[in-house]
A and B are shown apart, each in its own frame.
Chain A
Amino acid sequence: MTDPTNKAEPLLSARGISKSFAGVEVLRDVDLDLMPGEIHALLGENGAGKSTFAKIVAGVHRPTRGTLRLNAETVDIPSPLAAQRLGITLIHQEPISFPDLSVAENLVLGRGSGSPLSRVPWAEIIGDARRLIDLLGVRIDVTRPMRGLSIADQQMVEIARALASDSRLIIMDEPTAPLTPKEVETLFGIARRLRDEGRTIIFISHRLEEVRALCDRVTIFRDGSKIATEDIGNLTDADIIRLMIGRPLKEYMHRGKSHIGEVALKVEALSLPGYFENISFEVRKGEIVGLGGLVGAGRTDVARALFGVAPAASGIVWVNGKVVHITDPSQAIREGLAFVPEDRAVAGIFRTLSVEQNITAAVPRQIAPSGIIRRTIEKAMAHDSVRRLRIRLASLRQPIGELSGGNQQKAILARWLLTDPSVLILDEPTRGIDIGVKAEFYDMIGELAAAGRAILLISSELPELLALCDRVLVMSEGHLTADIPRADATQERIMSAAVPQFREAAA
């Protein structure tokens, strides 16, 4: 293996790359050099910024600030197509393709030669496609439709497409997650060959073993910043995990113990095939139970099942000692459940409607005992919520879409507090929220527990789970893999229960 850092000229060099979505900074001043002929891993927690960085390089997102230089020339990458022209290809985890077209057609996609009316040169297309697939050393019939190919084969087709446009930089975003070990080996073999041909590969993965087996250098992201770039040989697994999670716990996240009472929510053997299996746990009054795990582990699906948005197929749920069969959110609300969903824009806010209406949406009976809205009651309730949660706004009649993300989230929380829930499920409540407002949320969550509510807190942020929760449950690939009491909870323990191959190694 050659040492890529010895080569003088980087293929791609990023300087000061920053990205904000709707005013929230997700990537901050990232400098990174990618050498020709190296496989470079990007590591970090969910939301650390590694995928955002990769997507900026691939032209999916445009940086808010910063420059990209490709072969020492400053480039602007406005679209994935432009990236492809520059020789940069992003391989998606779940390949995006046209499932009803043949492999060969998918391979020549976007090539666009000749006039719109000229004949399609089928023989040439199929011949080219065969040659590309053969280059990879895999056996795929190029005349078959993409539908029906395994995910691994679909990825191969995407890689072949990258070769077709002679890409110098290939980005693989968690390519191995859906693959079997044997398919992973094939993929790695191809990746190594591409590297030996002098191409550069960015490899994004959660699986440390794979990174160690494949990559030459790693860059670790945390909270939108680049933390370190090192040769993989210079770092131990412990070093990597420490760099990924090692942020100091904030002062404000300390909270006093609340009185923990009887069981408010009990779940036994809850299953929804394809999403989660055999989930059992309980949450007591005054207790904050964290639910950690990687994105896609099934945490949100459990929450949605409990709240009746997408009910579970089997299992028993008790709320305050009573067996309930919740199949609809309105029923869940009657039983004393509340759910702050993960995706605020999709499932939370009514963007163009007033803040006031957004806050009172879940309590129609209170603002309109007889069906007719009592404006004074509604106004008083909304006003009171705004004051208590310190929601910053110009007017109660203002559309909620004009507020910042943190204040929108406060309004959604306010909506649920009006229902006076005994069980509150919070799904990533602080995602996309400024640091300062996060602190306020942590205080509020602590106060809610102290007031005797049972709280199930889904979060991908380990420090958040550690600082707030009395216990931390961890899910991985649809199963509950750990139930860690506060005293024993460490970031390492949560991570090792969350990351699939750690669990397999332990078992």
Chain B
Amino acid sequence: MSASEMPSAPSSQDAAPPRPTWQVVLVRPETMTFLLLIAGVFAGSQLSPFFLDVAYILRSFTLYSEFAIVALVLTMVIIAGEIDLSPAANMALSACIFAWMQQAGVPIPLAIGIGLLSGLAMGALNAIFVIGLQLPSIIVTIGTLTLYRGLAQVIAGDKSIRVPEWFIGIDKVMIGGIPLPVVAFILLAIVLGFVLSGTIFGRQIYQIGTNEVAARHAGIRTARIKTGLFLGIGLVAAIAGIVTASRLGSVRYDLGLGGELQMVLMAMLGGTYIFGGRGTILGTFLAAWLLVIVSTGMIVANVLPAVQLVVLGVLLIVSIVATNFIYSRTQR
């Protein structure tokens, strides 16, 4: 073999040129969510003159605010490469435990504390299966979703448990004209948005979701971070459950039934990548508003409930296809 055999290949070491800045900024799933949101507002305003009433939209959002709050944390769980389908059931069980305790004479603050602790415990149980036993989170949380909902029914039966008058109406508490649950959602979005993009914890969530093996090799404590996320979503789900109890004035085992789908829908619509490693809090924030606009828009327009479901289903599928398309284009 002589030196002349060395191929005069084009210098493959040169890096590919970077994508133009406008593409990096504009071709992202959040942009799609934002455009859909604008389209939704426009369509809604055409359907009904009352639609552009901000107070009306805020009131409508309150109905979704508990799910939206949990969806923010769920976004982080999905970015880390896992999923949790149990938080809606967790909401119901935490709320039932809280309501049952206070009905049995436990002081309300203590009952709330126990409700929150049980939410934490539910998150811990998920973590034990997913992180300790290395089982796939989708299967584990489908299991615990059924388990938690079942336990809620065991505790509450099929009766409603009432909560005291003074505890009712967190959604009527206004801060600067905005209902308290919506304020909480906005504040949490700001905090988690910062955590995810500006802290080591957030950075490592992306790294774990992108390549867990590489993350471990880089000394990232993957188990610790994932456990933290499952505990976090358990606790936040319990808070959301108790907020729901205050809004509804009573607790039944079917509180938040089917909510896990709304949460996943918000995360997906916001461009969170189902296989992990990509997504933003901003996306989920926008998607929550989009979902409310679309749902209320359809109610205002007197669309049949069955058709409303179809529209939501189509939205979910379109969002997944679009997100995947955008990511595969930019992935190389």
Q: Which A residues are within 8 Å of any B CB, using their own CB?
A: 23-25, 28, 222-223, 225, 227, 247, 307, 309, 328-330, 332-333, 339, 341, 346-353, 357, 361-362, 364, 367-368, 371-373, 392-395, 397-399, 401-404, 406-407, 415, 434-437
Report B-chain residues with C-beta under 8 Å of the C-beta of A402: 15-16, 18, 332
Minimum CB–CB distance for A27 against chain B, Å: 12
A-B contact pairs, 15 of them (CB 8 A): A247-B1, A309-B217, A348-B217, A350-B207, A350-B211, A357-B206, A364-B204, A371-B200, A373-B198, A392-B15, A398-B15, A398-B18, A399-B330, A399-B332, A435-B6
Is B211 a contact partner of A403 (Cβ separation < 8 A)?
no
- Which one of B36-44, B87-95, B218-226 is at the interface? B218-226
What number of B residues sit within 8 Å (CB to CB) of A? 37
Distance in angstroms between the alpha carbons of A20 and B277 in the assembled complex: 29
Report A-chain residues with C-beta under 8 Å of the C-beta of B1: 222-223, 225, 227, 247
Is A404 a contact partner of B14 (Cβ separation < 8 A)?
yes
Report B-chain residues with C-beta under 8 Å of the C-beta of A395: 18
Is A309 a contact partner of B216 (Cβ separation < 8 A)?
yes
Is A392 a contact partner of B13 (Cβ separation < 8 A)?
yes
Is B15 a contact partner of A394 (Cβ separation < 8 A)?
yes
Beyond the given A309-B217, A350-B277, A394-B17, could you list 7 further A-B residue pairs with CB under 8 A, ordered by the A residue number? A329-B219, A352-B210, A357-B207, A362-B219, A394-B16, A394-B18, A397-B18
Q: When the two chains form the complex, which single residue of A225, A349, A392, A397 contacts B214, counting CB atoms closer than 8 Å?
A: A349
Q: Which B residues are within 8 Å of any A CB, using their own CB?
A: 1, 5-7, 9, 12-18, 198-201, 203-204, 206-207, 210-211, 213-221, 277-278, 327, 330-332
Nearest neighbor of B208 in chain A, beta-carbon distance: A350
Report B-chain residues with C-beta under 8 Å of the C-beta of A353: 206-207, 210, 277
Most chain A beta-carbon contacts within 10 A, residue among B5, B214, B277: B214
Q: When the two chains form the complex, which single residue of B199, B211, B219 contacts A371, counting CB atoms closer than 8 Å?
A: B199
Is A361 a contact partner of B13 (Cβ separation < 8 A)?
no
Is B210 a contact partner of A350 (Cβ separation < 8 A)?
yes
Distance in angstroms between the alpha carbons of A352 and B329 in the assembled complex: 12
Is A407 a contact partner of B219 (Cβ separation < 8 A)?
no
Is B13 a contact partner of A339 (Cβ separation < 8 A)?
no
Report A-chain residues with C-beta under 8 Å of the C-beta of B216: 309, 329
Known: A225-B1, A353-B207, A372-B199. A333 touches B219 (CB 8 A): yes
Report A-chain residues with C-beta under 8 Å of the C-beta of B6: 435
Most chain A beta-carbon contacts within 10 A, residue among B12, B199, B206, B221: B12
Distance in angstroms between the alpha carbons of A332 and B203 in the assembled complex: 21
Nearest neighbor of B331 in chain A, beta-carbon distance: A352
Report B-chain residues with C-beta under 8 Å of the C-beta of A398: 15, 18
Is B199 a contact partner of A349 (Cβ separation < 8 A)?
no
Nearest neighbor of B194 in chain A, beta-carbon distance: A372
Report B-chain residues with C-beta under 8 Å of the C-beta of A247: 1
Known: A247-B1, A352-B278, A361-B218. A392 touches B199 (CB 8 A): no
Report A-chain residues with C-beta under 8 Å of the C-beta of B211: 346, 349-351
Is A401 a contact partner of B332 (Cβ separation < 8 A)?
yes
Is B199 a contact partner of A401 (Cβ separation < 8 A)?
no
